[in-house]
Amino acid sequence: MQIKKEHPLERLLRRERMPHILCTGCGIGTTMANLVEALEEGEFDLDKISVVSGIGCAGRVAGYLNLDGFHTTHGRPIAFATGLKLTNPDLTVIVFSGDGDLAAIGGNHLIHAARRNIDIKVICINNFTYGMTGGQLGPTTPSGTWSSTSVYGNYEIPFNLPYLLCACGATYVARWTSAHAHHIKNSIIEAMHHKGFSFIEVISACPVYWGRKNKLRTGKDMVKFFLEHTEIKRHPDPRDALIQMGTPILCGVFVNEKRPDYLDMMKAQLSKKLGISEFRGDGKVTLPEEEKKVVSEMRPPKEIKLTQIKLAGLGGQGIALLGLIMGRAASIFEGYSTVYTQEYGPEARGGASSSGLIISSRAVNMPYTTAPDILVIMAQGAFRKYRKDIRENSIIFIDKDLVRPKNIPNSVKVYAIPATRMAEKLGRALVANIVMLGFFTAITPYFSVESAEKAVKMSVPKGTEEFNLTAFKEGYEYGRQYGRA
């Protein structure tokens, strides 16, 4: 009769996610068990530990541990971990990921994090292959072995990860196999107490892919293989750590040295240059509480119904800026609710460009303009593109010289202004959009002249305010001839 009891490591696991997806005999499970044992045995403060992992079989681990963690994009766990560590230096950040994730796609992050000696602990599961995707050749597949994309045997030289990391400047580098359970645990505890970039490579059994293709079909076979084919040395030379079939896998602690880490170097440099002595994460800095500013709610001046405006033209005509200024005038200075979006092609000049604006006296629940009531069109190409959006009783604003409206319903009101020509007369064709803004302000009721002028001042480059305001007045005066719509 079995007595059901709780596993002693229960508090560190998310049982609701278990059983995990890892295959029978997989070395990742053993490594995870050792990580958990190490955290338990080392009596670390679990609130100060977070686990970051990438994509792949090993990337699942962050989800199985009952610790704060990130499951990040492929190859980027070290980038995430760097950000995490620098933002909150009190945390101990553990990166748990695979060889494909860390050494292939994320190789650059790995070597530069080691070079900078950022204080994170990297546990790299090296199972010689890409397990989750079907056992393809990876950067660590030993020469002469088989994988599903090297069916005649691998003829490449694999990465010698300990040597690479030692060369890059990592201050703690160790390698074990998943058969050396106790050593992994001790190494993790050692790395947790180490200050600086720590790298533990765990040669892990993948009996389902790498093992099956290389006559090691079960986890038991692989563990036996590892125990027979490893050599544990006290001070191994990383130059001999290349994994080749036929020669023993060199295991041990390759480097364990002290060197100031990234944060120390940064603090030393910045203290000198900026005269700062205390940094966040020193354990003594308390950030002053920010006083909450009371913002008086602005009431919209009058009720208007929701209006969708589409602005379209060519890149370089200032279509996006025109929409932005109109939005600012309506929202910041008039108190309406507005939504502003913009879209443009990859070209800096000449491509299609448009922006959308929604103005309402109530909250706007639409993300972008769908059926514009007002169109501001500054190029014939844009007219062709948005011709289908012109409905009965639409209002369109056009540049007289650049747009010839055709095939539009009779009920459409067309307001035309030679904006570009007027801008050219003023000196620069660039301000055609501001001329158009003045014209728009004179005709529509959404914002006053004062609001539009304030928004122009706020949005145009410093030193050009006066010139832009002149252009605005030109357009406004032109619009006065039409009278308000």
Partner 1 sequence: MALAQRKPLNLEKFKIPRGRVIIFEELCKGCELCIEYCPKQILELSEDYNERGYHYPVLKSGMEDECIYCLFCQEVCPDFAIFSEKVEGEGHG
| Closer residue to partner 1 (CB): 20 or 387 | 20
**Distance of alpha carbon 80 from alpha carbon 398, whole angstroms:** 49
> Least CB distance from residue 34 to partner 1, whole Å?
6
* Least Cβ distance, residue 203 to partner 1 (angstroms): 15
- Smallest gap, in angstroms, from Cβ of residue 128 to partner 1? 18
CA–CA distances in Å: residue 395 to residues 327, 379, 413: 18, 16, 5
Residues in the chain: 485
Of 23 and 408, nearer to partner 1 (C-beta) is: 23
Which residue type, as a one-letter code, is found at position 333? F
3-state secondary structure 332-350: HHCCCEEEEEEEECCCCCC
Q: Closer CB to partner 1, residue 34 or residue 353? A: 34
Least Å distance, CB 140 to partner 1, is 21
Angle of helix 319-328 versus helix 449-459 axis, rounded to 10: 130
**Residue at 170: amino acid letter:** A
Cα torsion through 416, 418, 423, 427, rounded to 10: -170
CB nearer to partner 1: pick between 33 and 104: 33
**Token pair 């490449």: residue:** 156
- Closer to partner 1 at the Cβ: 28 or 51? 28
Considering beta carbons, is residue 24 or 247 the nearer one to partner 1?
24
Q: Residue 69 CB, nearest distance to partner 1 (Å)?
A: 17
- The dihedral sign for the CA sequence 355, 359, 364, 366: negative
User: Which CB, 64 or 336, lies closer to partner 1?
Assistant: 64
Dihedral (CA of 96, 99, 101, 102) sign: positive
In the complex, least distance from residue 107 CB atom to partner 1, rounded to whole angstroms: 27
Task: Single out the residue of 467, 376, 478 nearest to residue 429, CA to CA.
Answer: 467
Q: Is 149 exposed, middle or buried (0-12, 13-18, 19+ CB in 10 A)?
A: middle
**Nearest-approach distance from CB 225 to partner 1, in angstroms:** 12
Shortest distance, position 20 Cβ to partner 1, whole Å = 7
Closest CB to partner 1 among residues 225, 415: 225
Label residues 99-125 b or e (16+ Cβ within 10 Å = b).
bbbbbbbbbebbbebbebbbbbbbbbb
Can you tell me the distance from the alpha carbon of 218 to that of 416, in angstroms, rounded to the nearest whole number?
79
- What is the binding site for partner 1 (CB under 8 A)? 2-5, 7-9, 13, 18-20, 22-30, 32-34, 37, 181-182, 185, 218-220, 223-224
Please state whether 398 falls in left (phi above 0), alpha (psi between -120 and 50) or beta. Answer: beta
**Considering the complex, what minimum distance in angstroms separates the CB of residue 283 from partner 1?**
34
Smaller CB separation from partner 1, 127 or 171: 127
Burial 44-79 (b: 16+ CB within 10 A, else e): eebeebbbbbbbbbbbbbbebbebebbbbeebbbbb
In the complex, least distance from residue 127 CB atom to partner 1, rounded to whole angstroms = 13
In the complex with partner 1, the residue whose CB is nearer, 29 or 169, is 29
When the beta carbons of 33 and 364 are compared against partner 1, the nearer one is 33
Please identify, using beta-carbon distances, which residue of 32 and 378 lies nearer to partner 1: 32
Cβ neighbors of 107 (< 8 A, separation 6 or more) are 75, 139
* Shortest CB 229 distance to partner 1, Å: 16
Task: Give the Cα separation of 95 and 106 in Å (integer).
Answer: 12
- Bridge partners, residue 313, by sequence: 353
Radius of gyration in angstroms for the set of CA atoms belonging to the chain, rounded to a whole number: 33
Closest distance between partner 1 and the C-beta of residue 177, in Å?
A: 12
